[in-house]
Structure 1
């Protein structure tokens, strides 16, 4: 294989993909290799991408809600490709995956989908603002960082004029198509794309929503539902079963829309005569709760709804590979991609826990997968600043969680003594805690967690590391510091 394309469908959970919502991905599954039991190492974007880029777990890379920067001493997948002579291009539509948070290393170019005019002054803090007050405060603080006219144009684009129903995927695939058409480089390329459409807010084009909304529901009714996961957590408002059903319809419509963008990306590679020589990988970075377990969004817990993600690999040795049922992790992708294209990068290999999924790999199959939630995001203090007193249920989220999952059991433990055990063969939705009934299984899996993580240094806090001044200001804008 010559080229590598890695596409992350942000917030895509495995349970919601399939022939109805994601026919393009389903076709890739039929032609390539599908990993039915793929798991993220963290339940939200920043730490999950850090694991994906470095092959390390969150407590190893230390990138989380308390320290939102990918440290420079960690080797990244784009750096490995760049040093091997690849042209490296990133297209990000998620404001966490940008240079301000350390994700630009190794990329020749990292484009920001929320910017109408590509600029070093990033207005992503405005996009990330969870309410109007945060957005206005971020805009005031960042407007004069660079060219205020360009900054104002980018804010207006992201907040007002960005096409309805699209959060950057269409513009991204159009740009990639043009880049491939005009590209004159002889060297191979590594292309990373993050498409964020399945993320809140769910606002698919009406034609897509009409296919997935419950019978009798209207597009206007569905899109009028308030979509504010943190406010829902803090009991600032409630959602009925019907409203959650409508939201699930919108979410499925978003998956269908972004799946069509995936088809456009494939066509662009075919038109450029690069498809047959490209290793094409599609995955989610984490999942989503839409009423499951009483949650909305993807924070504060480690249920499989957030960790089990789609993973499909097409091209080269993965063509015609069928469905593979073994437990795998997204952090296995660095070793897999590099081995498949023949790149030897000892530094990246040795720093983490990545195991190659290449069909001829000598790596031992995993008998368990692990995940971590290192620090609440947003912090409990930030929630209190926004909502005042928050419910005891939310206060309980102020803890660190670790999980180990085998083919039979899932065990989750918190640093406050919280623990749950589930038989995932008989209880795949993790409704029944059987920790009290099976103390021996709890002991075994607790030891597995301690064996995996106890030797690791505790993840650094924001006060323990040096961050760029721009990053510090942005985090202060949004209440993180």
Structure 2
């Protein structure tokens, strides 16, 4: 059971009486698919300002390279092999306590707006929320009319309308289609609608109850389709918006050699990706402005992070599946407010699963059940939690599975078939070691090889043994470990048709 700490006690949780006041509210913003190395002053000036005013953790790492398991870790403080939410089991275990549940029991109003289909009630992420909204919908509905919106011509749109309009409430379905087709800003995937809704929600609040607001902005995710004005800022001078937008964006088809991308193609895709980061950064500015106008900014702990990164040609990949390179797991993490004001840029190794302990300590909420179930360590400047000597990541099961790829593409390349494995990674300040349950292993000296291009495992057998031992100490051996959540009774969720279509568009299926 969660308990709030009396904020009148200045020594609670070991705080110095002269430290910053305890924030009243909490806002957690996830910039979906934002990788650390591309989030800087050029693409993300708002985030850069927040980092300068608050605390920017320069070595922050996700526990997994894609949305579902990464968010599960953020919400529960556990690794994938504990929470069991992955490609083979796509539902968050009901026995695990979540951060929204802890805060709700502590008296917070808990509101979420998700623009990623994985982070919805369909996959168990609504627990603890008073309201978890789908940001891409004008009116909330279980029926996703995305097939109408995504139809490439009038015939396809009409066919999709006939197929889906009368599922649920046809008036609601019509309103959602009209918004997406006619009124949603060009190049926006829900963030503008989200910030507008949050502003209205803040304006309408008339009570003194503290709030926890979770928000997922998905624009940096495939498909990269930023507004023209943003794209033209980041594309090469000899490239047009039309050329860049004509490039096929289908990561799984690229993996399976269904089509090719040239270095020119990747250069343009990187420009579009940077433009998406710039667009969503402006939405972050709009969110901050809404909090300031509502008089809540000074009383708010404001946390911004990426949930994972992205490959745009690096290591021969497109998207964010099948491996654990830093390109996928090194993410931005900025915290503003309370004790994190003017906190600088610590270079400590930290993980996104440290957010539950950090948030609870910062706002003075005691929830032993949430903290004891996992591995979360508080990043509060005065925390007594030990710092990390290493961070860990896992890729528990391929997503999509090899069977799904075969069903879609038929015969798939041996290169892709090799991805049908579990991966684990351990990273220290100096080295990164990745091991698979098929015997695959890589070692990189990240001081001289930050792009992880050269495998030095054969040259450093003692280092390999040490880091392999750390992995087994954390997760157990591959031979002894069961795949969590992979039993016959706990397989993938039977998804709604609209959910499958939306996830396919995002490159997951």
Deviations 1:91-111 (A, max 9, x none): 100011000000000110111
With over 3 angstroms needed to count, the CA separation of the structure-2 counterparts of 1:472 and 1:452, relative to structure 1, is: farther
CA contact 2:51–2:334 (8 Å) conserved in 1? yes
Residue 318 of structure 2 corresponds to which residue in structure 1?
296
CA contact 1:123–1:139 (8 Å) conserved in 2? no
TM-score for the superposition, normalised by structure 1: 0.93
Once the two structures are superposed, the pairs formed by residues 470-481 of structure 1 within 5 Å of their partners are: none
- Aligned counterpart for 1:337 among listed residues 347, 359, 362: 359
- Counterpart Cα distance in 2 of 1:477 and 1:167: 12
Once the two structures are superposed, the pairs formed by residues 164-179 of structure 1 within 5 Å of their partners are: 164-179=186-201
Residue 187 of structure 1 corresponds to which residue in structure 2?
209
With over 3 angstroms needed to count, the CA separation of the structure-2 counterparts of 1:290 and 1:475, relative to structure 1, is: closer
Question: Is residue 273 of structure 1 aligned with residue 295 of structure 2?
Answer: yes
Once the two structures are superposed, the pairs formed by residues 300-449 of structure 1 within 5 Å of their partners are: 300-449=322-471
With over 3 angstroms needed to count, the CA separation of the structure-2 counterparts of 1:348 and 1:230, relative to structure 1, is: same
Deviations 1:250-306 (A, max 9, x none): 100100010000000000000000000000000000000000000000001000000
- Counterpart Cα distance in 2 of 1:473 and 1:95: 10
With over 3 angstroms needed to count, the CA separation of the structure-2 counterparts of 1:399 and 1:469, relative to structure 1, is: closer
With over 3 angstroms needed to count, the CA separation of the structure-2 counterparts of 1:127 and 1:371, relative to structure 1, is: farther
CA contact 2:117–2:499 (8 Å) conserved in 1? no
CA contact 1:169–1:197 (8 Å) conserved in 2? yes
With over 3 angstroms needed to count, the CA separation of the structure-2 counterparts of 1:324 and 1:116, relative to structure 1, is: same
Deviations 1:15-45 (A, max 9, x none): 0011111000000011000000000000000
CA RMSD across the alignment: 2.8
Once the two structures are superposed, the pairs formed by residues 143-158 of structure 1 within 5 Å of their partners are: 145-151=167-173, 153-154=175-176
Deviation of 1:162 after TM superposition, in Å, equals: 4.0
Residue 483 of structure 2 corresponds to which residue in structure 1?
458
With over 3 angstroms needed to count, the CA separation of the structure-2 counterparts of 1:142 and 1:347, relative to structure 1, is: farther
- Counterpart Cα distance in 2 of 1:127 and 1:473: 10
Q: Report the number of matched residues.
A: 479
Question: Is residue 2 of structure 1 aligned with residue 24 of structure 2?
Answer: yes
Segment of structure 1 superposing worse, 419-428 or 451-460: 451-460
With over 3 angstroms needed to count, the CA separation of the structure-2 counterparts of 1:472 and 1:112, relative to structure 1, is: closer
With over 3 angstroms needed to count, the CA separation of the structure-2 counterparts of 1:475 and 1:212, relative to structure 1, is: closer
Deviation of 1:472 after TM superposition, in Å, equals: 10
With over 3 angstroms needed to count, the CA separation of the structure-2 counterparts of 1:158 and 1:436, relative to structure 1, is: farther
With over 3 angstroms needed to count, the CA separation of the structure-2 counterparts of 1:463 and 1:78, relative to structure 1, is: same
Question: Is residue 241 of structure 1 aligned with residue 266 of structure 2?
Answer: no
TM-score for the superposition, normalised by structure 2: 0.88
- Counterpart Cα distance in 2 of 1:220 and 1:148: 35
The DSSP-based 3-state class of the residue aligned with 1:323 is coil
Residue 50 of structure 2 corresponds to which residue in structure 1?
28
List alignment gaps of at least 5 residues for structure 1: none
CA contact 1:129–1:138 (8 Å) conserved in 2? no
List alignment gaps of at least 5 residues for structure 2: 1-22
